[in-house]
Every structure is written in structure tokens, then in C-alpha cells.
A = this chain, B = another copy of it.
């Protein structure tokens, strides 16, 4: 099923970071390529290791991105709600999915495939460049947050490894 072409839906899309800056024909170009997907609560949208070819925008509901720990346990990484997107790495490089995404509520998603993006590249170059710039910004923002988080973990480990501070010596 394709995405609705209502004013309200166009407004939602323009507010989503990945489609910001798209107007008029370019917005309609992207809109006409979106596919709607509905999931009940607790369903996997995709699983780590699968070959990904689609990115998703949350329209309603909530999903959890889960990583894979060494012992096989799923570790929750982040939760995403309306307007947020995930799986965009699959549009940029053909690699297996690096995480599992599971719905935490009944969820409606809109999806764009790498073939859609390629047809955009050929047929509406302007829209393609805007979406690519937005994906770049999105990845950059996520990397910034991820680096800050890693830094926090590293600092915590360094604190533990460091010997306790000595009491200051009394001056003579």
C-alpha cells in the first residue's frame, strides 16, 4: 500500500529530519515511493545479520533498536518514536543489518528502499541530493551521540582502573 497524499501527511514528512527541505514536486517524488507497513506490538521489523535494503520512518508507535551481546543476549540500544527513522545505513552501504529492531507498541512505518533512492537519483536529482544530505546529517548526529556515550563508558573504566587519590600532604 502506498502513502497517503493528504496535506497532513505531507506536513508530517516535511517535519521528519530525513525529508526536511523537500518541497513541492520533490516532496511528492519521495512520497510516491513510500510504502506503508503495519506491525503489532513485539514484532521484529528486521533482525541483525539480514541484508538490509530499506530505511523506515516511524509514523505511529515506537520501536526499540537492539544490539547483540557476545553471550547472545539482546541489549536495548535506543527507542525511536514518530518522525524518527532507522535502517538508513542500508541505503548507504550494502551490509548486513547491524542491529535488530522490535516494535514496543502497535506501529505504523513508512519505508523507502535503496532502489527507490536510486530511481530518485535518476529521475529527481534535486530530491536525491536533499535526502542524501539529510541522511548524512542524521548519521553525523547519531555518531556524535554514540561517541559521547563511548566516552562516558571509557571514562568510567579509567576511573575504576585509577588508584584512589591520596590525601593532600600537609605543607611544612
Would B147 and A67 count as touching, CB distance under 8 A?
yes
User: Chain A: interface residue count, which band?
Assistant: 35 or more
Q: For the complex, is A68 an interface residue (Cβ under 8 Å from B)?
A: yes
Would A92 and B151 count as touching, CB distance under 8 A?
no
How long is the Cα–Cα vector from A153 to B132 in the complex, in angstroms? Answer: 31
How long is the Cα–Cα vector from A98 to B151 in the complex, in angstroms? Answer: 11
Q: What 1/0 flags go to A89-101 for Cβ under 8 Å of B?
A: 1001101001100
Would A151 and B89 count as touching, CB distance under 8 A?
no
Would A136 and B92 count as touching, CB distance under 8 A?
yes
Interface centre among A142, A147, A149 (most CB of B within 10 A): A147
Q: For the complex, is A15 an interface residue (Cβ under 8 Å from B)?
A: no
